[in-house]
Amino acid sequence: MPGVTIRGLTKRYGDVAAVQGLELRVEPGELVALLGPSGCGKTTTLRLVAGFLKPEAGEIWVGERCLSSPAAVVPPERRRMAMIFQSYALWPHMTVDQNVAYGLRLARTPRGERDRRVAEMLKAVQLDGYGSRYPGELSGGQQQRVAVARALVVEPEILLLDEPLSNLDANLREEMRFEIRRLHELFAITTLYVTHDQAEAMVISDRVAVLQDGRVAQIGTAEELFERPRTRFVAEFIGKTNLIDGVADGTGTVARGRLRLRVASTDLTPGAPVAVSIRPHQIELAPRALPGAPAAPGATVLAGTVVRASYLGDGVDYQVRIEESDVVLRVAGPAPPRVRLGESVSVSVAPGACVPLPSERR
């Protein structure tokens, strides 16, 4: 199974660069999610890989084959790829069997082999026995499984998916995330998966490429992106976080006014602007009137007041205004609520929870 290599890819629409100098390597058999907000270039990148668009600069390689460059673009039908669209694109007048067999018929696969492969694929996507039904007789999740089966039955080298779950309700989306991951582990096809849903990307993919303004801002596993973001954009886009702008006060401390935070770094440049990312679940919260658990070694302990407490069923989302500063920290606590609105509290933040980032003050 070949991998995909993208080098310096650029695509413009008039004066707007939808993709600019994008670099990406997808290893053979790997599933990489392209994640980002609307307009970041993820769908344009997928369409360039599919061959629907021609780049102004850069190249796309699959294994040892150059499929796309400014000089020449191999047409989609010769790329040995399959694409699954947001709309499923099933033929309403064809049965499930006929929809899944469509690509094999175009390839003039013999009838006996075609029927065998369709039956095996429907069993793989857990639709055994549904072959005689029409798309209108299926649920949204079942229709998506048919679209997946149709893409996989032709045995593509590369699988492309463009927001395939966005039309499903929340429960079906969650179910299909695990189903797509299961099918990837079963077939191990090199896959690019476009989504704007970070939970979807984190569940499905081997690695996630976060796109910003047509470039890869950072690529890594879900854990790497969440625990060690490299930019303010990635820290804000992947999960919830508190971002505190300040200046380096020594090599391991960041200051904002009177506030001092010990951070997990020893190479800060004194006086340099720094943003500190702190995840809400990594902040310890306790009523100030009661003794709390001992703070972690080197932790920053701050006094504050609860200005909001939102009950979420499995937890409580607090906002705590820190005394003698303009900082309000978002803190994730367990249910039932331990503290109430207006109550004085102490918060403890370990150095390892404070991730320094290059400041991008606007």
Domain boundaries, the chain: 4-236, 241-358
Q: What long-range pairs does 227-233 form, CB within 8 A, spacing at least 24?
A: 227/355, 228/355, 229/277, 229/355, 229/357, 230/357, 231/357, 231/358, 231/360, 232/275, 232/277, 232/357, 232/358, 232/359, 232/360, 233/360
pLDDT tens track for 8-32:
999 999 989 999 999 999 999 999 9
CB–CB of 6/25 below 8 Å? yes
Q: Say whether pTM exceeds 0.75.
A: yes
Separation CA 344–CA 330 (nearest Å):
15
pLDDT tens track for 241-274:
999 999 998 878 999 999 999 998 778 888 899 9
Residue whose structure tokens are 């893409």? 151
In CATH terms, 4-236 corresponds, of 3.40.630.10, 3.40.50.10540, 3.40.50.720, 3.40.50.300, to: 3.40.50.300
Helix axis angle, 111-124 to 96-106, nearest 10° = 130
CATH number of 241-358: 2.40.50.140
Task: Give the angle subtended at the CA of 358 by the CAs of 355 and 362, to the nearest 5°.
Answer: 120
Phi first, then psi, for residue 171 (nearest 5°) are -65, -40
pLDDT tens track for 149-167:
999 999 999 999 999 988 8
Handedness of CA 154, 157, 163, 169 (dihedral sign): positive
Residue 290 pLDDT greater than 80, yes or no: no
Q: Which residues pair with 191 in a beta bridge?
A: 31, 159
What is the model's pLDDT at position 93? 95
**Is residue 33 classed as helix, strand or coil in its secondary structure?**
strand
CB–CB of 304/349 below 8 Å? no
Residue 337 pLDDT greater than 90, yes or no: no
- How much helix, strand and coil, in percent to the nearest 5, is found in the chain? 25, 35, 40
